[in-house]
Amino acid sequence: MADRLLTVEQVADRLGTTVRFPRRLIEERRIEYVKLGRHVRIPERAVNAFVASHTVAPAVRHLRGAA
C-alpha cells in the first residue's frame, strides 16, 4: 500500500497546531516532504516518525524505603 501524502493543513490538524508549525518544520528540513511543482506534501509515515521521535516517556518515580 502506498504511503498517503498529506497537505500542510492536514498535518497541522493531526498535530493540533497551526499551519505555521509544519511549514517551519519543512523550512528547517526537520521533516521529510515531497515537492510536487509548487505544492508541498508530507508523507504520513514522516508525520508518524516525527511524533514517535519526539515522544517523551513518563518518568518512573522510585519511592524511598520501599522494598
φ and ψ at 53, to 5 degrees? -75, -15
Displacement of CA 62 from its chain's centroid (Å): 32
Return the pLDDT at 62: 80
What's the half-sphere exposure (Cβ side, CA atoms, 13 Å) at 34? Answer: 13
Confidence at residue 19, expressed as pLDDT on a 0 to 100 scale: 98
Question: Confidence class of residue 6 from pLDDT cuts 50, 70 and 90?
Answer: very high
pLDDT in tens, 20-56: 999 999 999 999 999 999 999 999 999 999 999 999 9
φ, ψ (nearest 5 deg) of residue 39: -90, 140
Q: Extract the C-alpha cell encoding 30.
A: 526537520
